[in-house]
Structure 1
Amino acid sequence: MERASVTATRERLYQAAAALFAERGYENTTMADIAERAGTSRRTAFNYFPNKSDIPMFWTRRLADRSLIDAGDAQSLPTEQRVRDYLRGITRVVEAEPEISRQMMSGWAAAKGPIIYESTLLPDLELILQAGVDAGSIDSDTDIVLAARTISDALMGATFRWVREARTSYVDAVDAAADLILRALRPAQ
């Protein structure tokens, strides 16, 4: 099967799932519903997403990839700005698609995603933070893996609060958490 065809089919299935989750909710949508909406067979749907819970994981990776591209990896930007831009890219998409985002997060939590899987954001954050260490804007004694996990955990906590409360400013909550963490990572002066 051609790569473009594979990508197109995965995208059709994802778009069908996102629309159905927003309309019916994650729990009330089946893989058969998704396959039907996408115009594929159930077998094809399961070939691309072996479990319904894989769809929220795909959503998360899409958010991170899009945000990484938007934030760029330009070494000329200060590390703190790169981290903020990366997180803001994610928060903007989440706030722009609130119901899809809520359903994806609910589905991911229902599938025990936060317990079973390591954050897909960690490699991105580790690269950005390591560049900061190399540039001298992040303390050289910083445990990059722990710092990336802490930022990812702060994003996750803000996301779950936003899903639950729906009245908090998601962007402001993530910005505040990132500022707090990034201040702690600066070299001692």
Structure 2
Amino acid sequence: MSAVGPGPASRPGQRRAEITRDLLYEAAAELFVERGYENTTMADIAERARTSRRTAFNHFPNKSDIPMRWVRRMADVAIDASGPPEHEDTTAWVRSYFHLIGEMVQAEPELSGQMLLGWTVAAGPIRYESQLLADLTPTLRNGQARGHIDPAVDAATIARTLSDVLMGAAFRWVRERSAQHSMRELVDAGIDLVLRACKPSEPTR
């Protein structure tokens, strides 16, 4: 694989592809809220986005890819809002990252419920790794090197556990939306518990 980045001629095509993917995602999100995940087809999504079914399938080969895109989009927003993780305490960055995602899930309850339904219908929790591992694992390893996270704990295991906390909180919140705790509170409490368990050990005197 060449290490040279894409040339100027390829960038407009890439940008057009990103715009089309976003249009398809937005169309899917609208339809999931209006009709429900299970009652929406890829043909419906293509029609709403004013593109062809072939184009829709090129960007999302399976309808179950759309909930993955939902998570990835929220994670990207959280990264942009939290700033570079190397500029602050790792645990503070991780708390901010998850807090922001929790806020986004809570802000659109119907969409969140439909995306989670789609994720389970497609057996996503069984078939796919978390979309958040690419963000969290290197950040946690960097935190270990800086003394913020216990180096004896596997960073990938911490990342998966944190991601599982988010998903579990989201399912619980959607199921019990009238319950006492908000999505943000559920996420914050669970993430804090995991991070406390990963604190570096105090040196023995």
TM-score range, shorter chain: over 0.9
Contact 2:85 2:139 in 1 (8 A): no
Measured after TM superposition, the shift of residue 76 of structure 1 is 3.0
TM-score by length of 1: 0.95
CA distance in 2, matches of 1:47, 1:2: 14
Contact 2:165 2:187 in 1 (8 A): yes
When the two structures are aligned, how many residues end up with a matched partner?
189
Which residue of the other structure, out of 65, 71, 86, is the alignment partner of 2:76? 65
Query: Per-residue displacement from partner, 1:12-44 (whole Å, max 9, x unpaired)?
Result: 111000000011110011111111110011111
The aligned residue for residue 9 of structure 2 is none
**1:52 is the counterpart of 2:63:** yes
CA distance in 2, matches of 1:43, 1:74: 39
Query: Per-residue displacement from partner, 1:125-163 (whole Å, max 9, x unpaired)?
Result: 112211211111111211111111111111111011112
The aligned residue for residue 110 of structure 1 is 121
> 1:113-152 counterparts in 2 under 5 A?
113-152=124-163
Matched to 1:169, the amino acid is S
Matched to 1:163, the amino acid is V
Which residue of the other structure, out of 180, 185, 188, is the alignment partner of 2:198? 185
TM-score by length of 2: 0.88
CA distance in 2, matches of 1:64, 1:76: 18
CA RMSD, Structure 1 to Structure 2 (Å): 1.2
Q: Secondary structure at the match of 1:2?
A: helix
Where structure 1 has 5 or more consecutive residues not aligned to the other structure, the ranges are: none
Identity across matched positions, percent: 56
Measured after TM superposition, the shift of residue 45 of structure 1 is 0.9
Contact 1:129 1:138 in 2 (8 A): yes
Contact 1:73 1:128 in 2 (8 A): no
Query: Per-residue displacement from partner, 1:46-71 (whole Å, max 9, x unpaired)?
Result: 11111111111111111111111211
Q: Secondary structure at the match of 2:131?
A: coil
**1:173 is the counterpart of 2:186:** yes
Q: Secondary structure at the match of 2:87?
A: coil
CA distance in 1, matches of 2:160, 2:15: 34
Runs of 4+ in 1 over 2 A off after TM superposition: none
Which residue of the other structure, out of 79, 83, 92, is the alignment partner of 1:81? 92
CA distance in 2, matches of 1:47, 1:123: 23
Q: Secondary structure at the match of 2:88?
A: coil
Query: Per-residue displacement from partner, 1:94-116 (whole Å, max 9, x unpaired)?
Result: 11111111111110111000110
